[in-house]
Amino acid sequence: MSEPLLSIRDLTISIQEESQKRILLEGFDLTVMPLQIVALVGLSGSGKTTVALSVMRLLSEAFSVEKGKILFKNENLLEQEPERMRQLRGKEIGIVFQEPLNAFNPVFSIGFQIGEVLKAHIPLPSRAAENRIHQLIEMVGIREPKRIAHSYPHQLSGGLRQRAMIAQAIAAGPSLLIADEPTSNLDVTLQAHIMELFQQLKERLKISLLLITHDLGMVGHLADEVGILLGGRIVESGPTREVLYNPQHAFTRELMEALGT
Amino acid sequence: MIKTQEKSLSPFSLALRKVKRNRMAALCGMTLIGLYAAAIFADFLSPYSFRNEDRGYSYCPPMQIHLVDEDGQWGLFVYGYRFTFDEFHRRVYQVDKAQKYPLRFFIKGDEYKFLGISLSRFHLFGVGPEGRIHLWGADSRGRDLFSRILYGSRVSLSIGLVAVFISFSIGLLVGGVAGYYGGTIDNLLMRLCEMVMIVPGFYLMLALRAAFPENLSSLQIYMLIVVIFSFIGWASLARIIRGMSISLKEREYVWAAKALGLSDGAIIIKHILPHTLSYSMIAIMLSIPGYILGESALSLLGLGIQDPYASWGNLLSEAMGILHIQFAPWILLPGFFIFLTVMCFNVMGDALRDALDPMFKEGKL
């Protein structure tokens, strides 16, 4: 098999709280191979979002990386210059946030904000960029790309916004997409649609997906590999089938029981 | 299929709609548009150039346009004046019905450059070379006050806009950068702001003006005033924008923009500064009058635009001294225009604030 796309090795992150340090992630390991969907499952507060933000190098100054490496295409992201990081964000690694209403700037139209990503990474003449924006919106399964492109974030429903956000994340053609609880604010039918969309995008765009969630149902449907996170440590990981049908760790079993499967 | 609204309205056009609904603001807006249009076409609208003088008409009172003459003949015309001297050797003008000057339109007069491009001699109205028309009277040297107010409006009205444009560009940029980056940059920029702010504005203005040579051309003086105003004006805005920018940079869409790989510059300009727009629009509207008054004050003291060039401030400087006001009250007219403009900008600023404030309920005022 080929080289891993993203490989996080022994990552330890702490946060400075008043006078003491609190460890958020300890000895965290994770590998995402090309064209793989890897799920990271854990309770809230277990450090899932910290993983996503540390890959993007968007953690604020209060956080510090104690040790470890984040290798993306054999480049250690933790050692990159800010300008190189800026180029990687969006262009190589895309991210979909949990709450799409907050992730869009309320004063610009959806089309404009997707166009912005294009402008930052692949400059196109304005006509071509417009076509590309419509194409992207269509690609995430929205039927009226022109109308949506001219709409403002508050005018769209939650499902449309989430799709628009995915369109924005894939605009510059990243090879890795990080989705941080992409469906937790949506109802069940929409969750199913979004899952289907991720599956399609993976095949169409040849991208890998790091899915951060607490929804084991989604994991079972989508993920090739899964890692179970508890209190900042990976307690169990492996191919989805094995982990979900033959859980070794007590916490995984608890999770499965909570689901009632 | 029923077609719903094709294009969504931006917050700005929604606000504009609200301003239009406010009658007082609409009136003031129209007045301002009128004043600015008059300033642009000043040389065409005025019967004389700003330096055209006739000492025979010194302090000549305003002339009335008549429709019917003594013999019952119709037509637009003005009567000339004849004058006698009183015991202080001042001229006392009396209407002389024997001199009748018909009003002519598109008449040839002083040469000017129309819109700064093509040479032209045509003026909207005027009288033939045998007489003179002074709708709003004349000043001590017999120059037409109507024409000079029109020419003066060019300086007085534009200086506010230009100065506000420059000082707000600096203020927005400094505030945005300081708030976004924080730390040392923030500290340095804010201390600089405070240093500018601790000096009282008007005295700083006088001192700066005094620091430059006296004999400058009118264009140089104009530029100098603009620069001085911009230098004073940016600091207070920068401080407020900095505060807003600190809170805005924590918004999720700023994070999202970072995560999508936008550069810091693009984030400041597109995702932080536009959110300060509702505040800065109001601040702009409300600070233009300050610049107009500032120019007037400088020119009134003889430090601004110099004679023969006109600005409302230096036109008013002729009205210093109670004797002149008693004798020729019409030279106070530029003051009325300053008042009108300042009031209009203030009303517009207030209306804009109400329109942009989402908490504002109609009929609450």
Return the axis-axis angle of helices B277-300 and B145-181, rounded to nearest 10°: 140
The pLDDT tens digits of the residues spanning B149-204 come to: 999 898 888 888 898 899 899 999 999 999 998 889 999 999 999 988 888 877 87
Distance in Å, alpha carbon of B189 to nearest chain A alpha carbon: 22
Q: Which one has a higher pLDDT value, B362 or B270?
A: B270
Domains and CATH numbers, chain B: 50-143 (no CATH), 151-356 (1.10.3720.10)
Q: Which residue of A has its CA nearest to B264?
A: A86
pLDDT at B1: 45
pLDDT for residue B24 is more than 50 = yes
A168–B260 CB contact, under 8 Å: yes
Q: Answer yes or no: are the C-beta atoms of B130 and B101 closer than 8 Å.
A: yes
The pLDDT tens digits of the residues spanning B282-312 come to: 888 888 888 888 888 888 887 788 878 888 8
For residue B174, what is the enclosing H or E element? helix B145-181
The pLDDT tens digits of the residues spanning B192-238 come to: 999 888 888 778 778 877 787 777 777 888 888 888 888 888 888 89
A107–B10 CB contact, under 8 Å: yes
pLDDT for residue B35 is more than 90 = yes
Structure tokens at B122: 């045509």
pLDDT at B340: 93
Structure tokens at A127: 């006509």
pLDDT bin (cut points 50, 70, 90) of residue B8 is: low
The pLDDT tens digits of the residues spanning B74-95 come to: 778 888 888 888 887 778 888 8
A120–B260 CB contact, under 8 Å: yes
Q: Answer yes or no: are the C-beta atoms of B344 and B166 closer than 8 Å.
A: no
* Among the partner residues A88, A103, A152, nearest to B8 by beta-carbon distance: A152
The pLDDT tens digits of the residues spanning A218-235 come to: 888 888 999 988 888 888
Q: Which one has a higher pLDDT value, B358 or B340?
A: B340
Share of chain A above pLDDT 70, in %: 98
* Among the partner residues B8, B11, B251, nearest to A150 by beta-carbon distance: B8
B274 near A CB under 8 A: yes
A121–B261 CB contact, under 8 Å: yes
A86–B256 CB contact, under 8 Å: no
The residue type found at B242 is R
The pLDDT tens digits of the residues spanning B41-75 come to: 888 888 888 888 888 888 888 888 888 777 777 77
Interface of A with B (CB under 8 A): 56, 58, 86-91, 94-95, 97, 99, 102-109, 116-117, 119-121, 150-152, 155, 168-169, 171-172
B265 near A CB under 8 A: no
Contacts of B280 (CB under 8 A, 6+ apart): B168, B172, B237, B241
pLDDT bin (cut points 50, 70, 90) of residue B353 is: confident
Q: How far apart are CA B68 and CA B70, in angstroms?
A: 7
Q: How far apart are CA A189 and CA A17, in angstroms?
A: 41
pLDDT at A208: 92
Structure tokens at A32: 């995402």
Q: Minimum mean pLDDT among A36-40, A74-78, B101-105, B342-346: which range?
A: B101-105
* Among the partner residues A94, A103, A172, nearest to B253 by beta-carbon distance: A103
In sequence order, what E strands does chain B have? 66-68, 74-85, 91-102, 104-114, 118-126
pLDDT bin (cut points 50, 70, 90) of residue B7 is: low
pLDDT at B307: 79
* Among the partner residues B11, B252, B258, nearest to A102 by beta-carbon distance: B252
Total number of residues shown for chain A: 261
pLDDT bin (cut points 50, 70, 90) of residue B365 is: very low
pLDDT at B321: 76
pLDDT at B273: 87
Distance in Å, alpha carbon of A261 to nearest chain B alpha carbon: 36
pLDDT at B34: 93
The residue among B5, B253, B270 with the most chain A CBs within 10 A of its CB, best to mutate, is B253
Q: How far apart are CA B183 and CA B171, in angstroms?
A: 18
Structure tokens at A118: 């294009």
The pLDDT tens digits of the residues spanning A28-86 come to: 888 999 989 999 988 877 888 888 888 888 888 888 888 888 999 888 988 888 888 88
Composition of chain A by helix, strand, coil, percent to 5: 45, 25, 30
Q: What is the ipTM of this complex?
A: 0.71
pLDDT under 50: residue ranges of chain A: none
pLDDT at B10: 65
